[in-house]
């Protein structure tokens, strides 16, 4: 029987089934892929997914926000995180659900009858990763699914909403419905992730629509620079700390909650700007030996998962940042955006 505290965190974005397997140069050439690259699939790439499944492979419930949702659930008590997106009616959706079940993540997918489930084929060749993504059904999320009685009841019960910026290419009305729900209910929190440089570069209008509702904004230094370039004016060409402060100071719908902007910088300190503060804070990352690093794919998603888990649990900003760095450190020791089992327990640096 669920409690009133179940599914406090609701995440929305584009679900993908990551299919990871080792491949050689011949396999890369077969599909005209580069050893270390990320592309969107064309028709010629469609047989790749069955090819990967025929090999010794790993299936991961992917898509950036779904990675973050799994990361948050890794830390939080059972039945804390709910993820929403769109999948097809096929075996790939079944595999995606199974992967989420194994991670303890509840999913409530919209089912599209026409498009297959989104997939990301990952060819591992030594230290290289070649990613080939077919978005398919992930592009078909609709507002009516979010506002259906069953799902909207879950929305109303949740206290924290996390949305990946990639969803701004899919269904802006769904993003805005969550953003406004948070702003109108002063006890709710809206968290946005920039996701990739092309989001502020090419979807700036959609991103700007959400900006008054950001209680927390997460990104990396490249994404922040892309945002500043698109924004123009006095912030263009500024450093990460100045950009973060500028973002934190943007107009806000819920003035009762100060906006917090969190910008990661790989192995350099994480920059944090709080609305109303005149200076950005910096938090050094946890150190890790190069020999311990196996795969950095999804490290940013893992950081977001740990950070958001801290916010959900009411931890301080400093501890939440450290929780994000702790989970990212665990993730890069694994293949793809995954976390070790048996579960490890967070401890302060």
User: Contact, 172 vs 47, CB < 8 A?
Assistant: no
User: Contact, 282 vs 244, CB < 8 A?
Assistant: no
- Cα–Cα dist 55/48, whole Å: 11
Give ∠ CA 241-219-17 in degrees, rounded to 5: 165
- Cα–Cα dist 176/182, whole Å: 10
Runs of H (alpha helix) within 63-167: 64-75, 91-102, 143-146, 149-157
- Cα–Cα dist 115/89, whole Å: 8
- Cα–Cα dist 305/81, whole Å: 11
Q: Which residues pair with 268 in a beta bridge?
A: 265
User: Contact, 262 vs 300, CB < 8 A?
Assistant: no
b/e sequence 124-138, b meaning 16+ C-beta within 10 Å: bbeeebbbbbbbbbb
Half-sphere exposure of 299 (CA within 13 A, CB side): 20
Which residue out of 112, 215, 301, 322 is catalytically annotated?
A: 301
- Cα–Cα dist 322/154, whole Å: 29
Q: Is 301 noted as a catalytic residue in this protein?
A: yes
- Cα–Cα dist 334/147, whole Å: 37
- Cα–Cα dist 49/120, whole Å: 8
- Cα–Cα dist 126/116, whole Å: 30
Q: Which residues are tagged catalytic?
A: 301
């Amino acid at each position: 029987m669920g409690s009133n505290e179940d599914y406090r965190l609701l995440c929305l974005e584009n679900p993908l089934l990551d299919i990871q397997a080792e491949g050689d140069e011949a396999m890369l050439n077969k599909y005209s892929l580069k050893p270390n690259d990320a592309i969107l699939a064309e028709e010629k790439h469609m047989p790749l997914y069955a090819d990967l499944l025929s090999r010794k492979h790993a299936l991961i419930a992917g898509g950036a926000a779904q990675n973050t949702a799994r990361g948050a659930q890794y830390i939080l008590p059972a039945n804390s995180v709910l993820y929403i997106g769109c999948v097809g009616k096929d075996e790939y959706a079944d595999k995606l659900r199974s992967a989420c079940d194994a991670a303890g993540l509840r999913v409530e997918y919209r089912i599209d009858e026409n498009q297959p489930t989104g997939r990301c084929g990952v060819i591992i060749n030594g230290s290289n990763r070649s990613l080939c993504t077919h978005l398919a059904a992930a592009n078909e999320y609709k507002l009516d699914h979010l506002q259906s009685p069953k799902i909207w009841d879950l929305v109303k019960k949740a206290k924290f909403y996390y949305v990946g910026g990639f969803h701004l290419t899919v269904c802006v009305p769904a993003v805005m419905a969550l953003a406004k729900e948070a702003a109108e209910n002063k006890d709710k929190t809206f968290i946005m992730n920039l996701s990739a440089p092309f989001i502020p570069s090419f979807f700036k209008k959609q991103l700007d629509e959400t900006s008054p509702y950001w209680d927390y904004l997460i990104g990396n230094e490249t994404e922040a620079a892309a945002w500043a370039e698109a924004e123009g004016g006095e912030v263009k060409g500024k450093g990460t700390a100045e950009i973060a402060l500028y973002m934190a100071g943007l107009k806000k719908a819920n003035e009762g909650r100060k906006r917090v902007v969190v910008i990661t910088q790989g192995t350099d300190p994480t920059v944090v700007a709080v609305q109303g503060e005149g200076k950005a804070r910096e938090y050094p990352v946890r150190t890790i030996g190069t020999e311990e690093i196996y795969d950095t794919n999804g490290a940013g998603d893992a950081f977001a998962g740990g950070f958001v888990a801290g916010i959900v649990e009411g931890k301080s900003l400093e501890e939440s940042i450290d929780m994000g760095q702790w989970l990212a450190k665990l993730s890069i020791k694994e293949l793809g955006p995954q976390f070790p089992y048996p579960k490890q327990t967070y401890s302060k640096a």
